[in-house]
Amino acid sequence: MPGSSRWKCPNGHILGSIKESKNNGGTVRRLLLYRRAIDLDGGDEVDVMAVVEGSITEVTCDRCGMIASWWPDAASLQALLKRMEKKGDRRVQSNR
């Protein structure tokens, strides 16, 4: 079911949120990466600095220094390749 969830470092600080959306019959996950980590107490302001889709990303928590890794799912990678093919990106070669 499409929605969102929190993306955290190993110590539980919130580094971003994961948004799921329908895309051509599948569900695609995107990471909304926050500029600064936040805690659950609700006193922190949220500032989204990037939307990550289709790439592996490692983020260092600015509160504790722990590293969290984001891995795209297969549906996100397929959606990215389809968008690049539609735009005529020469770097994309189809094996079909």
CB 91 within 8 A of CB 84: yes
CB 12 within 8 A of CB 63: no
pLDDT of residue 42: 66
pLDDT of residue 17: 94
Give the pLDDT band (50/70/90) at residue 9: very high
pLDDT of residue 48: 94
User: In terms of residues, how long is the chain?
Assistant: 96
The three-class DSSP label of residue 89 is coil
For 28-82, the pLDDT digits (tens) are: 888 999 999 998 776 778 899 999 887 888 999 999 999 999 988 887 777 777 8
Res. 95: pLDDT tops 90: no
Query: What is the model's pTM?
Result: 0.72
